[in-house]
Amino acid sequence: MVNRRTVLSAAGLLLALLLPPLATALGKPDLVTLGTQIAIYAIAAASLDLLIGYTGLSSFGHAAFFGLGGYTVGILAFHAAGEPIFGLLPGATEAWIVWPLAILTAATAALAIGALSLRTEGVSFIMITLAFAEMFFFLFVSLKTYGGDDGLGFRRRSGLPGIAPRDDVAFYYICLAALAAVLFLFSRLVRSRFGQVLQGIRQNPRRMAAIGLSTYRYKLAAFTIAGAGAGLSGALHANLLRFVSPDMLHWTMSGDFMIMVVLGGAGSLVGPVIGAAAMVLLQSWLAQWTEHWMIVMGPILVLVVLFARRGILGWLR
């Protein structure tokens, strides 16, 4: 008998691949943008799942790395169009330069923030990650050169050879491919020796210490990898909108990523993708009726947490 999960995954994948022609057929090209948004958020949510679902670390500052990835792209584009950075380094718009740099920037910040935050546990950890993210939020609010509060727009997407920057369908497939790559890498990761250690830490950190494991360095590595994932997500998000703003680093963004993970099903990698889709679709649908769409979203989240312990994914299985 064919597994229900396999059928659902195949259906999801098929839908994702056929979305652009379907959108054209339905006469709703906006669906492609919505799909792109889902894929981008899913990358950040899946990387946060490494921390929440696998390592048991409730980071409330994931938006910091998302925003840093975005601003890396935005700032390099800004300098490419104008003055070099500090009058020395030219800006850049080529994807093969700015995306890896966005990932590297976010990962470096995650390494530094993680190194300090991971000395705490539980509620203190949640609060300190939130505090660091807020620091970055206010940093970008006060950086008037890069638009401050108003954010920073740039004219064109990061260039990839052979792909027209204004082609939304091509960009959708790029984001989809990035999501697939991230999910594949992470699914290998969580089954590796490293992943086993992370899951051990989630289940029983005291026991892991008793068998001779120094948990700190593994938590830090996981935190850095998750930050890198959020950096990629942020870089793509900046490209989608051709605009970055401090909103990307706002604590509500961190909260949204957490909701995606919990709503979809933590500790599964696929769950956060479903969570991202549910969140984006609900938001766009409910926003037609009211700007207070969280009034509806809130109770849904409560019900899911109460009745489907493993999120939407657990309920589908």
Partner 1 sequence: MTPLLEVRSLIRRFGGLIATNNLSFEVATGEIHALIGPNGAGKSTAIALISGEQRPDGGTIRFNGADITALPIAARVTAGMTRSFQITSVLPDFTALENVALVFQVRAGHSFRFWRPAATDRALIDPAHAMLARMGLADRAHIPARDLAHGEQRQLELAMALATGARLLLLDEPMAGLGTTESQAMTALLANLKGHTTILLVEHDMDAVFALADRVTVLVYGQAIASGPPDEIRANPAVLEAYLGEEG
Q: Which parts of this chain interact with partner 1 (CB under 8 A)?
A: 188-189, 191-197, 199-200, 203-204, 206-214, 218, 221
198 close to 54: Cβ distance less than 8 angstroms: yes
Residue 150 DSSP symbol: G
Least gap, CB of 309 to partner 1 (angstroms): 13
Nearest approach, Cβ of residue 217 and partner 1 (Å): 8
Dihedral of alpha carbons 14, 18, 49, 108, sign = positive
Those residues whose C-beta lies under 8 Å from the C-beta of residue 42, and which sit 6 or more positions away, are 179, 260, 272, 273, 276, 277
* Structure token digits, residue 48: 């946060």
Contacts of residue 314, Cβ cutoff 8 Å, sequence gap at least 6: 265, 271, 308
Select 54 or 60, whichever has its Cβ closest to partner 1.
54
Contact indicator for 140, 77 with CB cutoff of 8 Å: no
* Least distance between partner 1 and beta carbon 49 (Å): 15
- As beta bridge partners, residue 159 has 94
Nearer to partner 1, 51 or 297 (CB): 51
Residue type, 201: I
Of 133 and 197, nearer to partner 1 (C-beta) is: 197
Q: Output 122 or 161, the one with its CB closest to partner 1.
A: 122
Distance from C-alpha of 84 to C-alpha of 81, rounded to nearest angstrom: 9
Residue 71 CB, shortest distance to partner 1, in Å, is: 28
Q: Which two tokens stand for residue 68?
A: 């840093």
* Nearest distance in Å: CB 58, partner 1: 17
Q: Of the two residues 211 and 306, which places its CB atom closer to partner 1 in the complex?
A: 211
How many CA atoms lie less than 13 Å away from 45 in the CB half-sphere?
34
Q: How far is the CB of 310 from partner 1 (least distance, A)?
A: 12
**Cβ neighbours of residue 243 under 8 Å, at least 6 residues apart?**
74, 151, 152, 153, 154
Q: Within 13 Å of residue 88, how many CA atoms lie on the same side as its CB?
A: 1
Cβ at position 193, least distance to partner 1 in Å: 4
If the CB atoms of residues 221 and 300 are measured against partner 1, the closer one turns out to be 221
Specify the residue, 250 or 310, whose C-beta has the smaller distance to partner 1. Answer: 310
